[in-house]
Amino acid sequence: MSFSPLINQLIESLRILPGVGKKSAQRMALQLLERNRQGALKLADALNQAMDKVGYCKLCHTLSEEELCPQCASLNRDDRLLCIVEGPLDVFAIEQTGYQGRYFVLKGHLSPLDGLGPEAIGIPELLKRIENADFQEIILATNSTVEGEATAHYIAQLLSPKGLTVSRIAHGVPLGGELELVDGGTLSHALAGRRPI
């Protein structure tokens, strides 16, 4: 069965979402068109508003509607701790543990095969953030994947001459796991058991 150009365009647009293949995108598109046009309009409006109004926090680089995200704007956080994560979902995961320090959100992890080097993931901005603050401990909370481990090791090597305590979250997080998928108890245990690199 072939669809009209506009339906095909909708299907292809839905396929950009992670885990959505051609069949799933077709089902979603037809559901929206046949049974939930109000929901589709609400979704389109929410997407337009988010694309227009959500940017990056000027300090930690997480997604934010304001110049400073709520964590960076808070005066009640520990300015001695900086937790480095791979993405905004990781901030949400770490927040569930009760962590009260500051954050820096990378734009992913080092992946030379994908063309993602230090500049592409924000390492120069990270180093500026560290230079312009008085952190005592840097917590490397990148994912426990090969790329996440390589990123943590690279950052630890860059920071070793600076005299900071650099720690890595403990391996209570499953090897090959992603922070956003780990339960709060496991992640809390991993933070409590972090070790210097």
pLDDT band of residue 47 (cuts 50, 70, 90) is: very high
Task: Please return the burial class of 15, using the count of CB atoms within 10 Å of its CB with bins 0-12, 13-18 and 19+.
Answer: middle
Pairing state of beta strands 195-196 and 165-168?
A: antiparallel
What pLDDT sits at residue 56? 96
**176: CB partners within 8 A, 6+ apart:** 144, 145
From CA 102, how far away is CA 99, in angstroms rounded?
9
Write out the two tokens for 126.
Answer: 């990270």
CA distances from 184 to 85, 96, 195 (A): 16, 6, 19
- Residue 195 pLDDT exceeds 80: no
At the fourth CATH level, the homologous superfamily of domain 5-53 is RecR Domain 1 (1.10.8.420)
What pLDDT sits at residue 1? 65
The per-residue pLDDT for range 163-180, each reduced to its tens digit, is 899 999 887 677 777 888
Domain boundaries, the chain: 5-53, 63-196
For domain 63-196, say whether CATH 3.40.1360.10 is its number: yes
Given the structure tokens 């990378």, which residue do they identify? 106
From CA 15, how far away is CA 20, in angstroms rounded?
5
**128: CB partners within 8 A, 6+ apart:** none
From CA 179, how far away is CA 43, in angstroms rounded?
27
- 3-class DSSP string for 56-83: ECCCCCCEECCCCCHHHHCCCCEEEEEE
What pLDDT sits at residue 155? 97
Q: What is the mean pLDDT of residues 52-77?
A: 96
pTM for the full model?
0.81
